[in-house]
Structure formats: C-alpha cells, structure tokens
A and B are shown apart, each in its own frame.
Chain A
Amino acid sequence: MPSKISASQVFKNYGAVEALRGVSVEIEEGEVHAICGDNGAGKSTLIKILAGVETPDGGEISIDDRPRQFANPTEALRAGVATIHQDLAVAPRMTIYQNVFMGAELTKSVLGVPLLDKAEMRRQSLSYMSQLNKSLTDMNKKVEDLSGGQRQAVAICRALRWNADVVILDEPTAALGVRETEQVLDLVRSLKQSGKTIILISHAMQDVIAVADRVSILRHGKNQIGMAVSGLTADTLSHYILSGETASAH
C-alpha cells in the first residue's frame, strides 16, 4: 500500500516540555490507523500537527510522499486532511444541511442576487449522509435533536463535503453509549469502504480492535509500538500502553 500521510522524526516542544521527541508514523492509503497511548503520550500534539493546528519544531510531514507544512487548519483542509474534534464543532440549533455546508454555503442567482440554494444543499447533504447513515433522511432536522452517533455522522459529512482524503477522528466514541458507539464504528467502516484514509485517536481499545488495520502506540513523546491490529486483543493493547513494553519484548 502506498503511504498517504506520514510524519518523520517529528519534534515539538512547549517551553521546557518535550511533547514529541522524534515520532515517526506512516499511514497507508485507505487504512484505518489508530494512534493510542496514555495521557501525555503525545497523541494530541501529533494530531494537531497533522491537522495544521500546530507547526512542528523539527521533522517532516508528507502527503502522497510530498513534504507539506500547514500553517493553519484551512491549509490542511485544502490538502485533503480534515479533523473531527471531540467536540464535533457543530452548531446544535442549526439544521443538518446548514452544519454540513457551514462556511461553504451554495448559492443561486435570483434576479442577479446570490441567494442560498437550500434545496441543493439538502440534496447534497442527503447524498453524503446516505454513505454513512441511511436512516437519517430529514436534512432539515436540527443537530440538537440527533443522537451522539448521528451528530458524529453530521461532522463526518462535513469532512466529506470538504473532499477530504484523510479524516482524523479525535476520540469519536468518548462519552457515547454502547449503541451510539456501534453507530460511530459503522461510520468509520463506511468511510474506509469509500476509500478514505482514517486516523483514529482513541482510548477505547475495543474500538481500535474493532475497526483499525494498524496501530501506533506513543509513550512519552516517542514511538513505542507500530503494528498490525489483526490478532491483537483489547487487553493486549492496554497491556502495551500500561507497561510500556515493546511488541518484540512482549
């Protein structure tokens, strides 16, 4: 599989704190790649760098084997890297289609005046949504009336609308119930089926085992483990994270 996005020997300091100390991760095209680790391992910092929120102090980020550096999240979006943060960044009292098209609304000319093309936005939102959740068909529904899993679907639809090839999901199942977690995992599977590359940051090892192809575990700002998920169990992953053992040692 060709590499879609990679981080090579990335360093990041916050004052005296060394958040990343030469982390390297290679994410292949079309895979679900989980990034795990205990608190303070450097997951969030790495994701912020990939998403354009932070710039690295050293090292290199490549997309499709071309070195890239993002000054802000908009540049990352333009390069096809969309991040769905834990808070989802949705406007609860606005409709699904308004959230999907937030900041990039479609217009049509009426007597020379550009007015919102609500019908087209609804149609396209439904088209994105049908790739993820076929039961959600009313695009006029307010996001506040949706379940946690459905809200995640709205946020992912927005990433699809941005034409993102790489979707970073930051703790997508945190604070969700069992059923909603299963909905979100189905969304991840749907995204993978549609050819997207997915980076999954999660503390929930059973979720990683359920959907990820490979996993990278970080510890104290360094690589600890990078391996295929096949054959692993949630307990094994938890053991690696807690003990700090490498896979070979294990």
Chain B
Amino acid sequence: MGVSTRQIIERYGTFFAGVLLFIYLTIFADNFASVPNLLNILKQVSFLAILSIGFTFALITSELDLSFAHVCSFSGVIIGMLISDGVSWQLAALVGIAIGTVAGLINGLLVTYLKVPSLIATLGTSSVANGLAFMITGGVAFVGRWDPNFLFLARGKVGVVPLLVILMLIVVVLALVFSTQSKTGVHLQATGENEEAARRSGINTKRCKILGLTLSGVAAGVTGVLLVSNLSSAAPQMGGDFLLLGIAAALLGMTMFTPAKPNIFGSFVGALIIVMLSNGLVLLGAQYYVQDILLGIIIIASVAVSASVLKQAAFSL
C-alpha cells in the first residue's frame, strides 16, 4: 500500500516544480510576490482556468475541443452586440452562455452521430465561430458605455478578493465535485477510459461524449461573459490566445495528481503555473517570444510524458 518515491514524483513532481518556480520568482523577480501582483495573477488565471477546465471535461471523455477559444470570442461579441443594442446585460450574458452551450452541443452531435473525429469537428466549429465573430463585428470591437453591474462581474471585489477569483474558485469546486464525486462524472471517466466497457456496462457513452464537449462550450460561454466584463469591449479575437494556453494548462494538469489522466484540479494548477510563468517572465524582462517558446515546450513535454488520452483522441481518426 506504500507509495514509492517514483509515484510521488509522478503525482506531485509538476506541482513541486510549480512551487519551486514560485519561490524562484519571489526571489528574483521584483514585485512578483506583492499582494497586487498576486491578485493580478489570480485574476488572469480565472479566465484560463475556466476554459481549461471545460477543455478537460472533453478530454476526460477522450475527445478534443479545439473550438473553445473562438467560441469564447463569438459568445463575447454577441454579448457586446446585444448590450450595444440596449438588451439588459443579464439577458445578454445568458445568451452568451447559451451560445457556448449550443456550440459544444453541436460538437458533441457531430462527434457521436456523424462520427466526425473531434479534432476535425471542433476545428470546423472553431473556424465557423471565428468567421461569425468577424462577420458580426466587421472586425471592429464593440466598445461604449457598459452597465457598472456588468463590469462588476470581472472588476468588482468582495473585501480585497476580486469577485472573478471567487467565481473561478466556485467553478473549480463544482467541476471537481462533479467529476470525482458524481455518478455522471465517473461515467464520463469510464467513457474516456474504455468506451466499449462503459457501453457494455449500460453507460450511455454517446450522451457522455456530448456532455463532455457541451461542458467545454459552457465554459467558453461563461469565459466570454467574464472577458467582455473585464475588458469592457468585445473584440472578435479576444479569446484566440487562450487556445494554446488552455490546452497547455490541461496537458500540464495531466502530469500531476492522477498521472496521464485528465483531471480538473491538475488543469487548475496547470493554469496557475502557466500564468505565473508568463507574469514572472515579464517581470524578469524576458522578450515577448520567450513565453511562446516555453509554451510549446510545455505542450510537447506534457504529451510525451503522460497524455496518452490526448494521443488517442487526436489520432483515432
């Protein structure tokens, strides 16, 4: 029953590396550990963590969602357009989340009923969402006067803690409980681990795959709302940069806690490490391209180390 040193490294190695990175940046990067900077990091993590958690649900069912970043942008521009047209921000936000949900649902239906591999299906959805976002905006962001209550979502604070961080933590806890403590969460896992075994055990594996991809869409919609609130503008490419970051966070997450398996807490910590690294590099005065290089290395190394599920999802064409 004992846990070997190797198992400890496999489960917690990346996490400890993150802790070491934190210590290193605290010592060598000016102002890294200051309260305003740490709160800023947490705020930046919020968007990435929610997106990567959504992506993780798709990954748990052994499917890929490459559309979440552009769906997030599309959802954002619809919110911007509706609010600009005088629709209440609450309704606009609900429509934004609904758009993400429908996009995820379409991905799920394409994968399960039309048998389009998720790599291809979500790439197609991504392109459609991107095109629609540019069509609606004409390439120009929606800006203007925004309801202060809407802006409070991403900019407000409860005491000293940004509301955004609280919302992110709620998402993390709910996703964690759902994925590890609920019957449906375990069915998602079983579907991803051995679809045939899950099906023979009476699990509706098609429904599980649709749910996994839909949850990724929901997360994209929610992040769209929060991004527009934070930026007080809605640009057609505002979520684009999150694609690689979100994938990297989830893959980094697969190298810890439950090695080689997508897991919600791992994705959250992965997002934290990536944003911390990005923030630290800026404070250390590194060139802008260094982050891209490191991100590429993180993605390749993570897949090489543990992401067999991703390989299966990507190459079972």
Known interface pairs A94-B189, A103-B202; A114-B197 also in contact (CB < 8 Å) = no
Known interface pairs A92-B193, A94-B193; A116-B202 also in contact (CB < 8 Å) = no
Residues of A contacting B: mostly: loop
Known interface pairs A94-B189, A103-B202, A104-B202; A115-B182 also in contact (CB < 8 Å) = yes
| Cβ A89 vs Cβ B189 within 8 A | no
| Cβ B183 vs Cβ A89 within 8 A | no
| Cβ B183 vs Cβ A107 within 8 A | yes
Interface membership of A242, Cβ < 8 A: no
| Cβ B201 vs Cβ A103 within 8 A | yes
Known interface pairs A93-B260, A102-B197, A103-B187; A114-B182 also in contact (CB < 8 Å) = yes
| Cβ B196 vs Cβ A98 within 8 A | no
| Cβ A91 vs Cβ B193 within 8 A | yes
Whole-angstrom CA separation of A225 from B267 in the bound complex: 60
Q: Identify which of residues 93-152 in chain A touch chain B, using a CB-to-CB cut-off of 8 Å.
A: 93-94, 98-99, 102-105, 107, 114-116, 138
Known interface pairs A102-B203, A103-B203; A90-B197 also in contact (CB < 8 Å) = yes
| Cβ B181 vs Cβ A89 within 8 A | no
Q: How far is the CB of B303 from chain A (nearest CB, A)?
A: 17
Contact with A along B172-194 (1 / 0, CB 8 A): 00000100011100110110011
- Residues in B neighbouring A107, C-beta threshold 8 A: 183
| Cβ B197 vs Cβ A89 within 8 A | yes
Interface membership of A73, Cβ < 8 A: yes
Q: How far is the CB of A94 from chain B (nearest CB, A)?
A: 6
- Residues in B neighbouring A104, C-beta threshold 8 A: 201-202
Interface membership of A74, Cβ < 8 A: yes
Known interface pairs A74-B202, A103-B201, A104-B202; A91-B194 also in contact (CB < 8 Å) = yes
14 contacts across the A-B interface (CB closer than 8 A):
A89-B196, A89-B197, A90-B197, A91-B190, A92-B193, A93-B261, A94-B193, A98-B189, A102-B201, A103-B198, A104-B201, A104-B202, A105-B183, A115-B181
Nearest first, the 4 closest Cβ-Cβ pairs linking A and B are A103-B201, A91-B193, A89-B197, A103-B202
A positions within 8 Å CB-CB of B: 73-74, 77, 85, 87-94, 98-99, 102-105, 107, 114-116, 138, 158
Can you name 5 extra interface pairs (CB under 8 A) apart from A94-B193, A104-B202, A115-B182? A89-B197, A98-B186, A107-B183, A116-B186, A138-B1
B positions within 8 Å CB-CB of A: 1, 177, 181-183, 186-187, 189-190, 193-194, 196-198, 200-203, 260-261
